[in-house]
Amino acid sequence: WRGLWCERSAVPCARALHPGSLRHRRSGGLPMRALTRSQPVLQLARASLLLGSGLRALLGIYAACFFSSSVVVGGLVLGATLLEPRAGLLGMLGALGGVASARVLGLVRKHEPATGFAYSALFMGLGAGHTFADPVAALALTALGAAATVLLTVSMQSVLARFALPPLSVPFLIVYMCALSMGRALGAHWALPTAAALPELALLPMHVRAFFEALGAFLFTVRADAGMLVFAAFCFSSPRAALCAVLGYTLCVGGAHALHVAPGLSFAAALNATVSAVFLGMSSPRAGWQAYVRASAGALLCLLFTLGLAGPLGRLELSPLSLPFNLSIYTALLIERQRQQPLARYMTPRKAQG
């Protein structure tokens, strides 16, 4: 039976069973009837292995939305998006389209998986499902937008690599804002508000419900039950992620209340601040109080960027979306990298010698 298996695969090799092959002679020969009976079972096993690996890769893309690689986290995020089936299926299609585009361009390698290329493509599908009422327009935006975000991700990686910065969701923002402007110019019909969350969740306190809705809004699903699934993903990923999410939201809402910010603008700042605090807190090299300081700084930066961008984007009839999140992450990383530079680089030769 050793001759039935290839050296590098658990799938039987048909050449090994050929009557003239060396492996067949060593194994004493095997009737063709046994080979015929085993083929359906082996094909089913191979299909199940391929399906399992594909499902793990897809869940890895969803987990990367909140800076994790856990399959359980990806499953919880996928469940949050599927609470609204139309947008959830389009998001899945966008992620698969991003992976397919990256494979066609030859960008997927063993040391560089397709997760980074499908990050913005996933958000493109989710955004298309909540933007256009016409299914054809939403499907076209998902397919074309996924390919466009992959191209922008590749081009931005080569530029941002000089500063050691990730593209994050900037490719999605560029393509999505262009799609909004084009749809407004062509007179497209916008999607209607989706169904509300479970009625039992209305019994939650106002600020608790708003916190969960902010978590769900990052996935274009302003629902408390979707936010609860996202928060469960944070808790499973790390207790620090859950604490950073609560800390970032609390600081941002408190600052917005102190500055008398409008409720809609405060909500936009809160959802960006929550995710920014999780990213900076989880990416901290130290797990002590420094991680929470970074999370707090990211949340306050999101509030400031949201207030600063409200006027210019409001004139264009655009919302900030996740732009404050990206700007706060870039600002925090660049400031931290600048602090790590050696002081002798900025000193004169005489001072450096002294």
Determine the pLDDT at residue 187: 83
What is the three-class DSSP state of 12?
strand
Mean pLDDT on 318-332: 90
Tell whether the model's pLDDT for residue 328 goes beyond 60.
yes
Task: State in Å, rounded, how far the first CA of the chain is from the last one.
Answer: 76
Residue 11 pLDDT class (50, 70, 90 cuts): very low
- Please report which confidence band the pLDDT of residue 65 belongs to, taking 50, 70 and 90 as the band edges: confident
Q: Angle at Cα 254 formed by Cα 250 and Cα 258, nearest 5°?
A: 175
Average pLDDT over residues 176-205: 79
What pLDDT does 38 receive? Answer: 64
52 pLDDT more than 80: no
Share of the chain above pLDDT 70, in %: 81
Q: Is the pLDDT score of 8 beyond 50?
A: no
What token pair was written down for 303? 């509030």
Is the predicted pLDDT of residue 21 greater than 50, yes or no?
Answer: no
Q: What is the pTM of this model?
A: 0.79
Averaged pLDDT, 254-261: 92
What pLDDT is stored for residue 14 in this prediction? 45
* Token digits of residue 246: 């609560």
Return d(Cα 332, Cα 328) in angstroms, integer. Answer: 6
The confidence score (pLDDT) of residue 190 equals 86
Q: What would the DSSP string read from start to end of 160-207?
A: HGGGT---TTHHHHHHHHHHHHHHHHTTPPBPPP-----GGGGGS-HH
Q: What integer pLDDT is reported at residue 27 of this predicted model? A: 46
pLDDT digits (tens, 9 = 90+) for 191-221: 877 666 667 677 788 889 999 999 999 898 8
Place of tokens 């804002």: 177
Radius of gyration (C-alpha) of the chain in whole angstroms: 25
pLDDT at 313: 87
Tokens of 54: 């594909």
Task: Using the predicted structure, report yes or no on whether residue 252 has a pLDDT greater than 90.
Answer: yes
Dihedrals phi, psi of 12, to nearest 5 degrees: -65, 140
- Look-up: residue for tokens 């997760």? 115
pLDDT of residue 113: 67
Distance (Å, rounded) from C-alpha 347 to C-alpha 349?
6
Higher pLDDT, 316 or 218: 218
pLDDT score of 25 more than 50: no
**Cβ-based neighbour number of residue 41 at 10 Å:** 9
Helix (H, G, I), strand (E, B) or coil at 328: helix
pLDDT band at 345 (very low <50, low <70, confident <90, very high): low
Average pLDDT, the chain: 81
Listed as own residue / partner, the contacts of 133-140 with beta carbons closer than 8 Å and 24 or more positions apart are 133/188, 133/189, 133/190, 133/191, 133/192, 134/188, 134/189, 137/183, 137/188, 138/86, 138/90, 138/191, 139/90, 139/93
Which pairs from 288-297 meet CB under 8 Å and 24+ separation? 291/240, 291/244, 292/243, 292/244, 292/247, 294/332, 294/336, 295/244, 295/247, 295/248, 296/247, 296/248, 296/251, 297/332
Per-residue pLDDT averaged across 176-185, rounded? 88
Q: Does position 1 have pLDDT exceeding 50, yes or no?
A: no
